[in-house]
Structure 1
């Protein structure tokens, strides 16, 4: 065979075996270039009764840990044993009408193969027992059934590139993220058609698409963003978020500014919307949702702005309404409802623009407590472990003990209270950061921008499993170690959807993940996956200038640069070349 002519073909993939032989996948077969320099076409023995291999368009080649060569072709999947020169067809569970093209074969650290197909999605194949397990990728969108790339990331997740977007996948949890192009977001993936994925030695993820090359930095892979696009149930219908609640099925209920309640199903990636409808009593009262409360009796209480309270029976979806009726005793104090809480006696308390009410379950009515803040607005209310109720008016922190009937007041402009795992009380202020508080004496210490907080207007506080506090602000998110009194801040540059967070919109899930709502949707992340600040960044020299002019690379003895500045070990300059600039990237 004419070796030069034989190689004048398209080579789609190549691999090398343990002895040094090269195998090339071409448009018509597999070719072998052995260690003696001989080039030949693979001519294997075919298992009788199976689909013939010869003439196949070979797109992928991959050796498994047993030295068996797997070949992905336009006719399906084959495996070749070099020891006995036998080729066998491997049957994947295609439907009879489906295209059988193989587009990816990836060998992971556990020795199993991830096989991406054109029309049937992704399969995990065990070379040991030849078992096949389909990989469920949700949401299923147009062209996501074509899997063209698989790569393992620094956090142990797998990155799966399809014609319809990019999935992050965990063997334990399934799909953990989905990325697709959004014309409104310049930071989104440049094109849904993913051709290749590479995770480099630093843990950065490089994504090749039909729209160019994308880099997803490892530090930005932690924050998952969920945005709004009205009319498409793969998105929120409103971008401003005020409240969260998670039901027993793991669905996330989201209170929005003007889109009612959005119910997100992480399994499907789809949203259901509960919105106000005129002349329909069994709809919610208003589309501006400020608060949720699970009453532990099978009902979800919904605080609305101008619509009072809606109580949703979670089993039947029937909705009861409580509203302010002027002159009627026992009605809600005001239809502008800001927050709820349940005390240690399982009584429900309501913070409204007309003060504080307690719900009387026996009479289905409300008792007003004017002694707390008259008929004036209370923006939040929260119980502590000692039986106190903490609440924030427009200019005070009010601490009320219902059992002792005691009230303490402290001048403060606030948005939230949080009691941590050590029973310390933290207050989010809107002008002085966060404050460590005492129910008896008020503020003990403030932590604000001077101490490293992202912004003095603090909104919500949560605690992670390592006892760090996470504070949302109007200019980013802060992580705070109370013992070391150290802050670390995160902004949109770190992968957050937006720096402007919203009051009330924060929740920790049962598995330790955190939800924070903003004016541009919400972020979901696991604090344990947030990397420490990366100071080990390689520096690359990119240009040398003398008197503000770039120095060219030359071959002469007088040339300053004999090769690229990035590859130059030392420089020798004349005495009159005393103004120079070195540019670098990191």
Structure 2
């Protein structure tokens, strides 16, 4: 056979364009603002074509194939569960909301003189941050940004994103941190309970026992008022008024220019918990009135309010359907004022515990965060998936936070582990190991066959997961064993329906599920040691990339021809992978460049 070969002078960098060769990748930190750059086009030049001749292997040195019975259907199965989205135990139901929207109570305010002090904005301490790392102690794929990466504290109270992509991170005792993806700028404000930005870009900082600080970065000033008071919650509404809840004392409202300070005079608003403004500019407020927790809604004109129900939520969130989700002591709860309905999710639906925080991702899924667990509810609200974080967001008298950044990444502020970062547009991964039922935690290869089964190659074993039955079977080392200290299954591929190609360390296996047999080929370390990839051509021959170079094996004649790795055409001992393009050319990747073979 006469074959033309081209050598790519650019080398191994082109391997990224081959999906089958993409066995290693790097994950850029979402917060590395310089990581994503516009792709640059470069010239792609090939050397002058060369004619090559294959080296024929002596037929007497090629071991005869050996075939053994193997009926995978008869292998014992064991339960194997992957944490995927599962149907709710019962559908979510809505019930009528028993309240009278016409029963409005006039709001009364007292005006209070503003005692404030303005000074020069303090200078922050600048610290170089490390990139987020993988969160330990959980099976879910999450990143963690904590004191180990440079945050001043792991107790997070609030995270806000600025228009330039930077973040304000409020810690309780470690200070106020401005994080730009590389450095943190730490301002020495302690006991922070909440932060909020007004419409002019000033940052309001609510503290315990030290009132409110307003940081004006345009004027480089700090304004301090309500000194010695504990302010729990801040809300800048659509009218550019800042609402403030003082611990067990008052609910305050102030204009952004800090000229007028008022307090709600109605009984029962002395002990507020949390507030939020909805899409109609109503303000929802949880507070304690006459010894009972009450949820009230102030109208957009701020002239009256309506009591909705006896509940004092510590967190509010409005989803894209305008339902207001409330933290609840029993499950999760949502209210729709337009429909005048209440929705409850609890153990009847398969949701256990109480939701403390909420967020909605860009796919419309609702994230319900319990103390150290996340439950994600599907967009149609019929399925859910649970992920354990082992990172509490709720402790007595304390609660963390959650926000979605401009890229859609979920930031969860915990009380002991810093910030958790999760990309909802990714696969929401789970880490599986022997504790979940795998025969080994060291997985070297994957393949999904046309039946939907997942094949996983490890050392001496192949696990086969059947998602439809929730079971796993194992082809053990008694079948795919090789007397080698490096007996890992590095490559699995369904060459054609029910024909599974498996790396055999020395040579390879073919599993035929139709005939219920397994056949071993080329069981010799000098012929095809460590097969990294394989293709079947139109003649029925197998192209093999291996540690010995490139080989073509014909199972009908048990013949083998090779292009050794140290030949001038490959200039490398190892052929990493092989793919064929739409023109019938074979792309051969080595650890020293790339060759293109035109047959």
Does the Cα contact within 8 Å between 1:225 and 1:521 map onto a contact in 2? yes
Question: Which of 275, 294, 299 is matched with 1:401 structurally?
Answer: 299
Tell me, in whole angstroms, the C-alpha distance in 2 between the residues paired with 1:563 and 1:385: 59
Residue 310 of structure 1 and its aligned partner are, at CA, apart by 0.7
**Following the alignment from structure 1 to structure 2, what is the Cα–Cα distance between the partners of residues 565 and 400?**
72
* Cα distance change, pair 319–108 in 1 and its aligned pair in 2 (3 A): farther
Q: Which residue of 2 aligns with 1:423?
A: 322
Aligned pair 1:109/2:16, yes or no?
A: yes
Q: CA deviation at 1:240?
A: 0.9
Q: Assess if the C-alpha contact under 8 Å between 1:225 and 1:524 holds in 2.
A: yes
Which residue of structure 2 aligns with residue 351 of structure 1?
A: 245
How far apart are 1:374 and its partner, in Å? 3.4
Tell me which residue corresponds to 2:374.
477
Please show how residues 181-580 of structure 1 align to structure 2 within 5 Å.
220=141, 223-229=142-148, 234-266=149-181, 268=182, 270-276=183-189, 287-324=190-227, 335-353=229-247, 354-360=249-255, 364-371=259-266, 373-376=268-271, 378-393=272-287, 395-401=293-299, 403=301, 404-429=303-328, 431-439=329-337, 444-453=342-351, 455-481=352-378, 483-492=380-389, 498=391, 500=393, 503-518=399-414, 519-531=416-428, 537-538=454-455, 564-565=477-478, 567=480
State whether structure 2 residue 52 is matched by structure 1 residue 158: no
Q: In structure 1, how many angstroms separate the alpha carbons of the residues matched to 2:286 and 2:479?
A: 58
Gaps of 5+ in 1: 1-17, 21-64, 71-78, 80-104, 112-150, 161-165, 189-216, 277-286, 326-334, 545-561, 572-586
Q: How does 1:5-16 map to 2 (within 5 A)?
A: none
Q: Look up the match of 1:34.
A: none
Q: Is the 8 A contact 1:350 1:358 kept in 2?
A: yes
Q: Supply the distance in 1 between the matched residues of 2:201 and 2:33 (Cα, whole angstroms).
A: 35
Alpha-carbon distance between aligned partners in 1 of 2:226 and 2:424, rounded to the nearest angstrom: 40
Cα distance in 2 between the residues matched to 1:336 and 1:323 = 9
Task: Structure 2: give runs of 5+ residues left out of the alignment.
Answer: 41-129, 433-451, 462-474, 482-510, 518-599
Scaled by the length of structure 1, the TM-score of the pair is 0.51
1:228 & 1:456 partners in 2: Cα distance?
29
The count of aligned residue pairs is 348
C-alpha distance 323-363 of structure 1, shift in aligned 2 (>3 A): closer
| 1:507 CA drift (Å) | 1.3
User: Which residue in 2 is equivalent to 1:27?
Assistant: none
| Alignment partners' CA distance in 2, 1:316 and 1:152 | 51
Give CA-to-partner distance per residue, 1:496-528, whole Å, 9 cap, x none: x72546735111112222211112100123211
The alpha-carbon deviation at position 406 of structure 1 amounts to 2.7
String of CA shifts for 1:412-461, please: whole Å, max 9, x gaps. 242211111121221122x11221214489761211344233x5232221
Indicate how the Cα distance of structure 1 residues 563 and 257 shifts in structure 2: closer, same or farther if over 3 A, else same. Answer: closer
For the aligned residues, what is the CA RMSD?
4.3
Residue 362 (structure 1) shift: 6.5
Q: 1:341 Cα shift? A: 1.7
* Cα contact 1:356–1:373 (8 A) shared by 2: no
**Residues 393 and 400 in structure 2, CA contact (< 8 A), matched pair in contact too:** no
Cα drift, residue 248 of structure 1: 2.9
TM-score relative to the length of structure 2: 0.50
Secondary structure at the residue paired with 2:164? coil
Shift of 1:484: 3.2
